[in-house]
Amino acid sequence: MEKILIFTVHGVRHAFPLANVERIVTAVEITPISGTPAVLLGTINVAGLVVPILNLRKLLGYPDKEIEISDHFIIAKSKEAVIALVADFVENVQEVSSQIGAGEVLPHWDWVSGFAITDQGTVTIHSLERIVSSIDAQVRSAYPEGRFTP
């Protein structure tokens, strides 16, 4: 059995494996970084660590909205990096006994690792590793020399 953190973005339920989640914090001020891909909102300070924050709405194709004080930031760790992701609401941690693999439903949707059926409906489980890899590729293609000038 795997534990997942369930959260909502644009009223839709999503999840990350709990093993990737470091902590949840309420929305704080974001320091913007000019010239970066639109999915990268900027950085936040988490206990003295500068953490990039990603716009899940943009990544998932939902309409943009201003960040509200009621929003939550999910601080998560992949093999490559610690990142923060904006969620409208963090629902709960749930143990799932079975998952449907993403390849069985959406074989070409890069960020999805699978789906879980819960008492409240289906939850899309995202792969943090794939999200980080995708964002890294976007930054590298935008700045092939490894740097940018704001």
What is the tens place of the pLDDT at every residue in 12-56? 999 999 999 999 999 999 999 887 778 889 999 999 999 999 988
CB 56 within 8 A of CB 39: no
d(CA 112, CA 108): 9
How large is the average pLDDT for residues 135-148?
61
What is the tens place of the pLDDT at every residue in 43-93? 999 999 999 999 888 888 899 999 999 999 999 998 878 999 999 999 999
* Domains of the chain and any CATH numbers: 2-142 (2.40.50.180)
pLDDT-derived band at 96 (thresholds 50, 70, 90) equals: confident
d(CA 5, CA 22): 11
Tell if the pTM clears 0.85, that is, is over it.
no
Greater confidence (104 vs 82) lies with 82
CA atoms within 13 Å, Cβ hemisphere of 148: 12
